Amino acid sequence: QKEVEQDPGPLSVPEGAIVSLNCTYSNSAFQYFMWYRQYSRKGPELLMYTYSSGNKEDGRFTAQVDKSSKYISLFIRDSQPSDSATYLCAMSGSGNTPLVFGKGTRLSVIA
């Protein structure tokens, strides 16, 4: 079993839809959780950062962490064509350990 599982997609939605992206993980020691957006031929951009369990909202983005289920989600409201990118989840157990990444989900928002 891989440490972090993420459906690679591709996921195609119409403009204005709510998008739900998620990752599952197996290491119960993970406590730092991040979501990144990566456009083609660019470095990943940090969208959301969450420590331990709970929800966090920033504009159209909401991140949820459920440590009991080892499941994290990213919701995008009112999706736009500019949201078309690959979304990567990432997590680590302590501040000194490298991030473990999911394989990324390719999202296309169709106008």
Partner 1 sequence: GAVVSQHPSRVICKSGTSVKIECRSLDFQATTMFWYRQFPKQSLMLMATSNEGSKATYEQGVEKDKFLINHASLTLSTLTVTSAHPEDSSFYICSARGALYEQYFGPGTRLTVT
Q: For 28, which DSSP code?
A: T
Q: Compute CA 100 distance to the chain's CA centroid, rounded to the nearest angstrom.
A: 12
Q: Give the shortest CB-34-to-partner 1 separation in angstroms.
A: 6
Q: For 2, which DSSP code?
A: -
Count of residues interacting with partner 1 (CB under 8 A):
23
Cross-strand pairs, 73: 22, 64
- Please tell me whether residue 23 binds partner 1 under the rule CB under 8 A: no
- Give the range of 14-22, 63-71, 73-81, 92-100 binding partner 1 by CB under 8 A: 92-100
- Please tell me whether residue 41 binds partner 1 under the rule CB under 8 A: yes
Residues whose CB is less than 8 angstroms from the CB of residue 97 and which lie 6 or more positions away in sequence, other chains included: none
Which CB atom, from 1 or from 96, has the smaller least distance to partner 1? Answer: 96
